[in-house]
Amino acid sequence: MGDWVDLLPGLTEAESRQVEDGLPEADARVRAVLRMAPGYYWSASVTTGREWTVVGSWPVEDRRRGALAMHREAATRSIPTALNDVVRSLAEGELPWTRADLVWCLEVAGRGCEYTDGAHLELPAVIAARLAPAELHDLVPALTALLSELTDDAFLAATARRRAVTLIGQAVDRATGRRFPSWLLHDGDGFGPLVRTELGALLAGPGAPELLTFCASLDKPAAPAKWLRGLDERLLATPGGAEVVRGVLEAFVAHRQSVHDDSDRLLRGLVWALSRQPDDGATDLLARVTAAAAAAPRRAAGYPHAQRTAVAAVQLLAARGGDVPVQALARLAVTVRNKAVQSRVRAALIRLGALRGWSLAEVLELAVDDHGLDRDGRLRTRVGPYDATVEVVGEKARLTFARDGAPLKGVPALVRQAHDDELRQLRDLVKRVGATLVSERQRVEGLLSEERTWAYPDWVSRFLDHPVTGTYGRRLVWETSADGRRWTTGLPRHDSDGWTIAGLDGGTITGNRVRLWHPVRAGVDEVLAWRTHVLATGLAQPFKQAFREVYLLTPAEEETRTYSNRFAAHILRYRQANALMRVRGWQAGYLGTWDGGYDSEATKLLGGGDWRASFHHQLVETEDGRDHEVRYCSTDQVRFARRDGATWQPTPVVDVPPLVFTEAMRDVDLFVGVTSIATDPQWADRGEDRFHAYWHRTAIGALTPSAEVRRDALARLLPRMRIADRVELSDRFLRVRGTIGSYRIHLGSANVMTEPDDAYLCIVPARDHAGRIHLPFEDDPVLSLILSKAVMLAADDTITDDTVLRQLAR
- Cα 691 off chain centre by: 32
Query: Rounded mean pLDDT of 270-297?
Result: 94
pLDDT range class, residue 770, cuts 50, 70, 90: very low
Please report the pLDDT score of residue 43 as a whole number.
44
Percent of the chain with pLDDT over 70: 94
Q: Per residue in 137-177, pLDDT tens? A: 999 999 999 988 888 887 888 888 889 999 999 999 999 98
Q: Per residue in 746-762, pLDDT tens? A: 888 888 888 887 777 87
CB-CB neighbours of 426 under 10 Å: 20
Residue 628 has pLDDT above 80, yes or no: no
Q: Which residues contact 283 (CB under 8 A, 6 or more apart)?
A: 317, 320, 321, 322, 324, 325
Q: Which residues contact 362 (CB under 8 A, 6 or more apart)?
A: 353
Predicted TM-score (pTM) of this structure: 0.70
- The DSSP secondary-structure symbol of 479 reads E
Indicate the range of 111-125, 260-274, 654-668 predicted with least confidence: 111-125
* Mean pLDDT, the chain, whole residue set: 88
Residue 285 has pLDDT above 50, yes or no: yes
From its phi and psi, is residue 229 left (phi > 0), alpha (psi between -120 and 50) or beta?
Answer: alpha
Q: Per residue in 226-259, pLDDT tens? A: 999 999 999 999 999 999 999 999 999 999 899 9
pLDDT range class, residue 42, cuts 50, 70, 90: very low
Please report the pLDDT score of residue 562 as a whole number.
93
Contact 173, 188 (CB under 8 A): no
Query: Rounded mean pLDDT of 573-585?
Result: 90
Residue 490 has pLDDT above 90, yes or no: yes
Residue 773 has pLDDT above 70, yes or no: no
Please report the pLDDT score of residue 79 as a whole number.
62
Residue 623 has pLDDT above 80, yes or no: no
Q: Per residue in 494-528, pLDDT tens? A: 988 889 999 999 999 989 999 999 999 999 999 99
Q: Per residue in 725-737, pLDDT tens? A: 999 998 889 999 9
Helix extents (H) in 551-657: 555-560, 574-583
- The DSSP secondary-structure symbol of 461 reads I
Q: Does 765 or 90 have the greater pLDDT score?
A: 90
Residue 186 has pLDDT above 90, yes or no: no
Please report the pLDDT score of residue 704 as a whole number.
83
Contact 183, 259 (CB under 8 A): no
Residue 626 has pLDDT above 80, yes or no: no
Please report the pLDDT score of residue 75 as a whole number.
87
Distance (Å, whole) CA 64 – CA 58:
10
Q: Per residue in 74-87, pLDDT tens? A: 888 766 567 888 89
Residue 698 has pLDDT above 60, yes or no: yes
What φ, ψ does residue 126 adopt, rounded to 5°?
-65, -45
pLDDT range class, residue 767, cuts 50, 70, 90: very low
Please report the pLDDT score of residue 625 as a whole number.
66
Q: Per residue in 406-441, pLDDT tens? A: 999 999 999 999 998 899 999 999 998 998 999 899
Please report the pLDDT score of residue 118 as a whole number.
85
Distance (Å, whole) CA 314 – CA 312:
6
pLDDT range class, residue 399, cuts 50, 70, 90: very high
Angle, CA 529 vertex, CA 523 and CA 533 arms, to 5°: 145
The CA-to-CA distance between both ends of the chain, in Å, stands at 58
Please report the pLDDT score of residue 729 as a whole number.
92
Query: Rounded mean pLDDT of 632-658?
Result: 94
Please report the pLDDT score of residue 332 as a whole number.
87
